[in-house]
Amino acid sequence: MKQDYRLIVIGSGISGLFVALESRKLGPVLVLTKGSIEDCNTAWAQGGIAAAVGPLDSPEQHLADTIAAGAGLVDVAAARVLCYEAPSRIRDLVEYGVAFDSPGGELALGREAAHSRARVLHAGGDQTG
């Protein structure tokens, strides 16, 4: 039986699955993976996801930290998109059911590496990438 897909997503990591979920309103979506659905780099990644979602943080500060940490190698336009879109994408992931660490009902934010604010989210401790 022939099936027509509006979109084919290659990869079953969090990025691929996010694209598939967001695109399903366009029509049927096919997700291709190299093995099982759990066989992806997201399952192996550690370190967390950075987003300026805390009350004392901002995308502007996240961008400044990113540029400073990049030692002149940062594509500023790309970093701006990442830093300004990150809070909304975290909200989307939470709505899709991603269980970020949330003791007491608030997102747990860690301060790591070159971040000047606590903005690193984890799911299952330090097992998120």
Q: Where are the domains of the chain?
A: 1-44, 46-129
pLDDT, tens only, 43-101: 666 678 999 999 999 999 999 999 999 999 999 999 999 999 999 999 999 999 989 99
The model carries a pTM of 0.80
Give the pLDDT score at 13. 87
Beta strands in 33-117 (DSSP E): 49-50
Give the pLDDT score at 20. 94
Dist CA 73 CA 89 (whole Å):
25
Q: pLDDT category, 38, cuts 50, 70, 90? A: confident
Identify the helix (H) or strand (E) that includes residue 76: helix 76-95
Share of the chain above pLDDT 70, in %: 94
Dist CA 81 CA 76 (whole Å):
9
